[in-house]
Structure 1
Amino acid sequence: MKKTSSEKHAFLLEAPLEVLHAESLEWLEEIEFWKDESAFFYTLVIEKTKQNLETFKTKESKDIEKHLVYISAEKLDDLRIEVQAHEQFLARLIGNIKLDDQLYRRRHKAIAEKIHSFESEFKEMKKKVFLSAKQAVVKKKSISV
């Protein structure tokens, strides 16, 4: 039986700190990948929509473009900074037994929820990008014929 996301996070919150550290490192890798992906999608949207000025002028196309810039320039940077601070807290926690690891675990859970929320939002954005690119290609083909 496949564990749900909340079951997985409940399990992880009781896991050794090394496991949480590994998950944080995975998040940092995902964030870097998402930055690359959003840059690619931005280029795709610009290239495909500028080929057809009618598509480029649409509000939806401009909204997608703005949202991709926001994701890449702000949201992903904020997530990366938060995860890096979380990792620094872990380093202090490991070096100081008196620090409360439950605080670290609560922060870890909150960040996990943000990562999951961003991932869902980004999937929706990718659907919009693909639809926009597809529409631009279809319009270009209909003009060519």
Structure 2
Amino acid sequence: MKKTDLKEMSDSISGRGLDILHQESKDWLNIIAFWTDESRFFADLLDKKEHIHSEKIEMLQYLDKVHKSLFHYLTEDIIAHEKHLSKLVKGEKGITAGEYVEKHTDLREQIHLFTMDFKEFKNMVFEFAKK
């Protein structure tokens, strides 16, 4: 996103705009919680196939561990982002809407990229499980 777009976005943020961004952050946390549950399911599925030792199982188990770690970091980033919003709403000095919007945009992009990656991982697990 261009700096001018961010400036316009932050200039136009009102209480309602912040509510929308706050809701989006809450939605992201729910998505991550869902992914965590799915990841547990995948781990169980892969454990059942463990008697067939293969590089594919090891790779899928490794990817599952990587995703769990990323869930943790994304969750921490979103919670920190929500704390930033709280400070912004309280009007604390040194906290700007522009910084908040920029971070929100970055998080939105991370969530989008991770969603695409996780879908690919799920397809790999399901294809493997079918065999």
Deviations 1:87-112 (A, max 9, x none): 00000000016521011000000000
Task: Tell me if structure 2 keeps the 8 A contact 1:45–1:65.
Answer: yes
Provide the C-alpha distance between the structure 2 equivalents of 1:70 and 1:39, rounded to a whole number of angstroms: 13
Q: 2:31 is matched with which residue?
A: 30
TM-align CA RMSD? 1.7
2:96 to 94, 100, 103: 100
Q: 1:99-135 deviations in whole A, cap 9, x for unaligned?
A: 2101100000000010001100100000010011001
Paired residues of 1:42 and 1:69 also in contact (CA < 8 A): no
Distance 1:29 1:35 in 2: 10
Q: 1:113 aligns with which of 84, 109, 113?
A: 109
Give the distance between the partners of 2:112 and 2:125, measured in 1 at CA: 20
8 Å Cα contact 1:31/1:80 also seen in 2: yes
Q: Judge conservation of contact 1:93–1:101 (CA < 8 Å) in 2.
A: yes
Correspondence for 1:83 among 70, 78, 89: 78
2:67 paired with 1:71: yes
Q: d(CA) in 2 for partners of 1:86 and 1:117?
A: 18
Residue number in structure 2 paired with 1:122? 118
Aligned to 1:39: 40
* Equivalent pair of 1:90/1:104 in contact (CA under 8 Å): yes
Residue matched to 2:53:
57
The residue type paired with residue 53 of structure 2 is K
Which is further off, 61-70 or 84-93?
Answer: 61-70
Structure 2: distance between partners of 1:45 and 1:129? 8
Contact 1:86 1:108 in 2 (8 A): yes
Q: Does 1:131 align with 2:99?
A: no
Question: How far apart are the structure 1 equivalents of 2:117 and 2:129?
Answer: 19
Query: Counterparts of 1:119 and 1:41 in 2: how far apart (Å)?
Result: 16
Q: Could you list the runs of 5+ residues in structure 2 that have no partner in the other structure? A: none
Identity %: 31
Larger radius of gyration: 1
Q: TM-score, normalised by structure 2?
A: 0.84
TM-score, normalised to structure 1, is 0.77
Q: Which amino acid aligns with 2:73?
A: D
